[in-house]
Amino acid sequence: MRQTTLTLAAICVVLFTSIALLGQSVEAPTGWSVSQVAEKTVYRLTDLPVSESFTLTVDPPSALESENVEKWFMDKVKADATKRGSFQETEPLRRGQLGLLSLERLYRGTGGRPWDVVYVGFPLMPHHALFCLMSSNLAESPSYSQYVHAAGKICGEIAKKTNKSAQTAK
């Protein structure tokens, strides 16, 4: 399995710690669409054939209350995994700067096609966290790392915006 989690973590940390957004909404980059599915925001690549998919799903920020961010993150991963079935391969949980958590898993989809899922958790202030997941059947595509990079930027921008809003509300 690729080391996309390390790349993603580095991108997200750089974005998370850089200059905060000036109140702008996070728009879909060129070549992506954005929609709301219940309370989740879903970004999709628009120029892929019907049989191919790369999506980024962002949950609304969660209040952590008394649980720690790692337990919250693993509970979110487990809840998603039950919808996907058994996984073939998993990377160890990675911990990045500022408490960033990431985990990459390879699931077997219908027709035997592999699905790569990258889970990312951002601790936010105060006592909140943001959960993002990337899901794709394109792990072997030469463009896969570009897609992960773009999705990482989107996650990082959302985390920055959410954190800035929380700090401004104080």
Helix (H) / strand (E) containing 136: strand 128-136
Contact 90, 97 (CB under 8 A): no
48-106 pLDDT, tens digit per residue, is 999 899 999 999 999 998 778 999 999 999 999 988 877 888 889 999 888 899 999 99
List the CATH code of the domain at 4-168. 3.40.1000
Beta bridge mates, 36: 41
Banded pLDDT at 9 (limits 50, 70, 90): very low
Strands 128-136 and 54-58: antiparallel
Q: If you average pLDDT over every residue of the chain, what do you get?
A: 82
DSSP string, 148-168: HHHHHHHHHHHHHHHHHHHHH
Q: 82: which residues sit within 8 A by CB, 6+ positions away?
A: none
Q: 168: which residues sit within 8 A by CB, 6+ positions away?
A: none
CA dist 168 and 151 (Å) reads 26
23-48 pLDDT, tens digit per residue, is 334 889 999 999 999 999 999 999 99
Contact 9, 103 (CB under 8 A): no
Beta bridge mates, 106: 89, 116
Structural domain spans, the chain: 4-168
Q: What is the pTM of this model?
A: 0.82
